[in-house]
């Protein structure tokens, strides 16, 4: 018994894997005991596949490593020993699996990008009774989210604007508080534009108040076109540090409403509802109804306002003018809207269930539509716990705005985090060319077509480290060290999806697996590498030991330090894996 109790404190330092020793011997040579800056450059370029690396870059790396290791002779050292070299490979900020800078072309129109999009961005928890707050908005912007959704409703006196999930028990937050939070945090993570999608349930006078609040809060940050609507979307580069509003313009909504009466002095006049200035983005009307799906209703996209207009005055033109990205409503059904030619670019929205139906019956029309316009997909209404759907089907069809509940932690949100680690985490990811361009016969990409293997990814999982620093000795097992194993997934088009698993390493805080897995990929541009470490438990559910999701198209070849995150996507301080990525 006493031997078992003391085992949990036994933490050994793993030796460098054989591949690390071989790489050091190859590039450092056998004549000396240190790897020079010139030799490190050769390793980085030839073995790690770095495109640009100078001797001065390598020299800075060497001094950085020596400083961190607090080497007693660092002032006289000019190179790395094998142990120094091994530790350099384990520093994820110096040797991470993906690039940390923006490197995609940012000069294409907005529809050429996947955009990091939130759903009901003000909710702190579930969709029915949680608190509304500016804090989730701030957290989303700090993570790099570029599309914030606000549901606008009048207060009980109908003289102020609240943000809340309508017809639920969610407690409201004031619109001005949300706007101020957006202004303060919009560009802390990324300089590229923030789109605010408005779910508008307001009267004309409150729309005027919104226009005033928006213009006073954002000032010159606010972007809106000189003409009534855009004929082509600008690029993220052209819209740096700008705020953009997107909703259905009031007139579009009201043209379909029946005439009402208004009293003007002693005269009674008939007037059409497009004069009233009411507006609401009724997104559940963007797809054809499914008579067999009675549960697929989305409360925040209900088409009825639930109250009468308070004001009889005309809708303020400045409010309409501030809407840069118009949210449209198909007048003859979604399929006709996708196939028909339109002069002005716009944004359409549909639920995840509607997307599934559209993908089944006319997927190529979706792809063709998104080559010019924006498509937003939101969670179906029955996801009251703020869960999310699998985003790959939306990305496969070119949907730019896949709206997620950022508080809905789970596997789907991890995939979203993974996709938007791309391109330096700036919130805009350039879509693959095959989704944006037509073929010689005007054909577009068909997501149903099974393609040939384009490239093969080899993943070697060498070892893990850092749990003894980030977790208590008794976190996994009370009387013994943990028993770790690693699961490696490819999530992508159906033909590419795959799952592998290492063996369990028993009683070791620094497990060494040294196992390699091979993944043939037909559409590597849309593939995500999901990694999860578990601690094996013979009697209960295996414990969580860390996870991360990485875009395959962004993986840097070579031996890399892969940092792991907790279940909410927050990076651990020390926990990481040492892995190797190769494309063949």
Residue 123 pairs with which residues in a beta bridge? 132
3-class SS of residue 193: coil
Alpha carbon dihedral 280, 286, 292, 297, in 10-degree steps, equals: -30
Q: Which CATH superfamily is domain 450-584 in?
A: C2 domain (2.60.40.150)
In the numeric block, which tokens belong to residue 446? 């068909």
Contact 431, 112 (CB under 8 A): yes
CB atoms within 10 A of CB 539: 4
Closest by alpha carbon to 525, among 427, 447, 453, 432?
Answer: 432
3-class SS of residue 502: coil
Catalytic positions, please? 119, 165
Distance of alpha carbon 542 from alpha carbon 275, whole angstroms:
61
Residues of the chain with CATH 1.10.238.10: 9-91
Contact 162, 174 (CB under 8 A): yes
Angle, CA 567 vertex, CA 489 and CA 300 arms, to 5° = 95
CATH code, residues 9-91: 1.10.238.10
CB atoms within 10 A of CB 93: 9
Distance of alpha carbon 406 from alpha carbon 511, whole angstroms:
33
pLDDT confidence of residue 265: 34
Distance of alpha carbon 352 from alpha carbon 358, whole angstroms:
10
Distance of alpha carbon 254 from alpha carbon 280, whole angstroms:
9
Fold of 112-436: TIM Barrel (3.20.20)
pLDDT confidence of residue 302: 38
What does the buried/exposed string (b/e) look like for 350-384 if buried means 16 or more CB atoms within 10 Å of the residue's CB?
Answer: bbbbbbbbbbeebbbbbbbbbbebbbbbbbbbebe
Residues of the chain with CATH 3.20.20.190: 112-436
Output the CA torsion sign for 395, 399, 401, 405: negative
* DSSP structure class, residue 172: P
| pTM summary value | 0.88
pLDDT confidence of residue 336: 81
Residues of the chain with CATH 2.60.40.150: 450-584
Ranges of residues in the chain with a pLDDT under 70 are 1-11, 30-32, 71, 73-75, 251-317, 330, 340-343
In the numeric block, which tokens belong to residue 576? 């990481």
pLDDT confidence of residue 333: 79
Q: DSSP secondary structure string, 319-352?
A: HHHTEEEEBP--SS-HHHHHHS--SS--EEEEEH
CA distances 48 to 17, 63, 64, Å, are 16, 20, 19
Distance of alpha carbon 374 from alpha carbon 338, whole angstroms:
11
In the numeric block, which tokens belong to residue 189? 């993570």
In the numeric block, which tokens belong to residue 89? 């490979």
CA distances 177 to 134, 173, 182, Å, are 7, 7, 9
In the numeric block, which tokens belong to residue 134? 């500016």
Residue 452 pairs with which residues in a beta bridge? none
């Amino acid at each position: 018994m006493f031997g078992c109790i003391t085992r949990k404190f036994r933490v050994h330092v793993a030796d460098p894997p054989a591949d690390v020793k071989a790489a050091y011997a190859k590039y450092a040579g056998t004549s000396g005991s240190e790897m020079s800056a010139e030799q490190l450059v050769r390793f980085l370029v030839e073995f790690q596949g770095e495109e640009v690396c100078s001797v001065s870059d390598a020299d800075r790396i060497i001094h950085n490593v020596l400083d961190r290791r607090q080497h007693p002779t660092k002032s006289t050292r000019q190179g790395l020993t094998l142990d120094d070299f091994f530790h350099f490979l384990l520093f994820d900020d110096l040797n991470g699996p993906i690039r940390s800078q923006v490197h995609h072309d940012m000069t294409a129109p907005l529809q050429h990008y996947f955009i990091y999009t939130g759903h009901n961005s003000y909710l702190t928890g579930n969709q029915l009774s949680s608190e509304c707050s500016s804090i989730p908005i701030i957290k989303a912007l700090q993570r790099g989210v570029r599309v914030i959704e606000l549901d606008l409703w009048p207060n009980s006196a109908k003289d102020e604007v609240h943000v809340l999930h309508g017809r639920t028990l969610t407690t409201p937050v004031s619109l001005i508080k949300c706007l101020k939070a957006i202004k303060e945090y919009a560009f802390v993570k990324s300089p590229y534009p923030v789109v605010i999608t408005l779910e508008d349930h307001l009267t004309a006078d409150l729309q005027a108040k919104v226009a005033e609040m928006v213009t006073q809060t954002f000032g010159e940050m606010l972007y809106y076109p000189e003409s009534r609507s855009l004929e082509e979307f600008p690029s993220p580069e052209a819209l740096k540090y700008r705020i953009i509003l997107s909703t259905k313009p009031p007139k579009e909504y009201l043209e379909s409403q029946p005439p009402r009466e208004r009293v003007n002095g002693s005269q009674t006049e008939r007037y059409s509802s497009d004069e009233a200035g009411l507006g609401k983005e009724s997104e559940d009307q963007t797809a054809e109804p499914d008579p067999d799906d009675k549960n697929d209703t989305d409360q925040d996209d209900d088409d009825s306002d639930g109250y009468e207009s308070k004001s009889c005055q005309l809708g303020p033109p400045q409010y309409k003018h501030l809407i840069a990205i118009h949210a449209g409503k198909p007048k003859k059904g979604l399929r006709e809207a996708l196939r028909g030619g339109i002069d002005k670019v716009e944004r359409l929205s549909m639920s995840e269930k509607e997307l599934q139906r559209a993908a089944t019956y006319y997927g190529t029309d979706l792809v063709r539509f998104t080559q010019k316009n924006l498509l937003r997909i939101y969670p179906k209404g029955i996801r009251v716990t703020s869960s999310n759907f699998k985003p790959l089907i939306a990305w496969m069809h070119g949907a730019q705005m896949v709206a997620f509940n950022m508080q809905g932690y789970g596997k789907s949100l991890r995939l979203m985090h993974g996709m938007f680690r791309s391109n330096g985490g700036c919130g805009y990811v350039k879509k693959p060319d095959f989704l944006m361009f037509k073929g010689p016969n005007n054909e577009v990409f068909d997501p149903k077509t099974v393609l040939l293997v384009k490239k093969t990814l080899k993943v070697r999982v060498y070892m893990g480290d850092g749990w003894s620093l980030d977790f208590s000795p008794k976190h996994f097992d009370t009387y013994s060290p943990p028993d770790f194993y690693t699961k490696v997934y490819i999530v992508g088009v159906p033909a590419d999806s795959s799952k592998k698993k290492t063996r369990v390493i028993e009683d070791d805080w620094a497990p060494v697996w040294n196992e390699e897995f091979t993944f043939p990929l037909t559409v590597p541009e849309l593939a995500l590498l999901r990694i999860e470490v578990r601690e094996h438990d013979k009697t209960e559910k295996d414990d969580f030991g860390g996870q991360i999701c990485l875009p395959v198209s962004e993986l840097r070849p070579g031996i890399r330090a892969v940092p792991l995150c907790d279940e909410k996507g927050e990076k651990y301080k020390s926990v990481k894996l040492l892995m190797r990525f190769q494309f063949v």
